[in-house]
Amino acid sequence: MNLSPDQLKLVLYPDAVLRAKAEPVSEFDDRLAGIAQRMIEIMREEDGIGLAAPQAGVSIRVFVCDVPAHPGEQPGEDGVRFATDGPIAFVNPTIIDSSDSRTSLEEGCLSLPDIRGDVIRPEAVTMTAQDLNGESFKIRAGGLLAKCLQHELDHLDGVLIIDKMSQMSRMKNRTKLRRLKQG
């Protein structure tokens, strides 16, 4: 974590930080809060719904997520949430349960501009994490929120959507990927 929060910017594929396994966070301080705040700013500047710390050039186990609710949408059965009430920071997140049912959704990634592809993921997940003060919390998520949590957690393990998308989606994006690799 050599960069100060105001130096953080969106990192694009094929930057090596996107493939590294991020380090756990042990210090919950103003610096961490500043990094999370800058990540939220980057996410909003890029019109995203999630951003992992490696995408901002910092290899720590933190991501932010802000999935808006659809009008009239309510939490589902068993307290499953489909949206956040504003941006949430997830520190040292872990999925502790996932549904057996899987769905395919076209995903994009801020670090892979113009790349979109179908990714199959569990419909619902339960995640534990810490907030910016180090307090533990748990969230049960479905729909787009569940997909966002899984996508951002993948980033913390160096996994990108191009690793998980269907073969057809990879083929469709091969020219764009080649251009990204060449810079």
Catalytic center residues: 152
Q: Which helix (H) or strand (E) holds 43?
A: helix 30-45
Rg (CA), the chain: 16
Nearest Cα to 129, choosing from 107, 104, 156?
A: 156
Task: Report the 10 Å Cβ neighbour count for 72.
Answer: 5
Q: Give me the helices (H) in 85-166, please.
A: 143-156, 161-164
Structure tokens at 71: 């009008």
Note whether 152 and 159 are within 8 A (CB): no
